[in-house]
Amino acid sequence: MRSALFQKQLPLGIFIITLTTVLLCLLLTVFLHVFSPDTVLVIEDVKSGQILWQEDIQAGEWFYHEYLHSVEKSPVIEKFKVNRAGEILTMESWTKSFGAGLPYEQQGTVEMVDGFYVLKDLHRPIHGGAFLMQPSNKYPHTFHFRDHRIMLSEEPYASTRIKIEVRHLTWLEAILEH
């Protein structure tokens, strides 16, 4: 008699455990989605690994850098956007000429704005998820994000090989940041 009762309760127990597990997984998924760790835009010294600057960034936000091209001596503005996956996309390239090392391929749309050839709507992912550069102190080179304006042509950025990327902080990093 006891064995028959146990056999009837076993499927009910398995059902309750399974349902509880599914609900916990669902709640954990919702929690992780709603309270996901920060995504940050980072400028890092490649050699030392030191973070020189970082700021929270959300999908859809833009940033850009502006510099004088070393050969053409003309201004260049490159604009980027972060997509939902946290990838950096090249969105626009502003140049006054199409000389050595400057973009020349017909992509997206092209228009003239204030004497600049503007290649727009590029949506081109950055190869490797980050871009590397070594700003010079010979010409002004600035980085812009929201109300931040960083002089890359000055210390600690000038003559330093830097990497600009978007990072997704781990839960532990996000907790330690705040």
Find the range with the poorest average confidence among 27-41, 72-86, 157-171. 27-41
pTM for the full model? 0.74
- Residue-wise pLDDT for 98-143, tens only, equals 655 545 556 678 888 999 989 899 999 998 899 999 999 999 999 9
* Tokens coding 20: 């509880």
Site of tokens 């330093």: 160
d(CA 100, CA 76): 12
Contact criterion met (CB below 8 Å) for 106 and 116 = no
- Residue-wise pLDDT for 44-72, tens only, equals 999 999 999 999 999 999 999 999 987 77
What confidence category does residue 29 fall into, taking pLDDT thresholds of 50, 70 and 90?
low
d(CA 120, CA 90): 9
Question: Among residues of the chain, what percentage have pLDDT more than 90?
Answer: 53
Q: Which residues contact 16 (CB under 8 A, 6 or more apart)?
A: none
d(CA 171, CA 178): 11
Site of tokens 């600690």: 156
What confidence category does residue 30 fall into, taking pLDDT thresholds of 50, 70 and 90?
low
What confidence category does residue 73 fall into, taking pLDDT thresholds of 50, 70 and 90?
confident
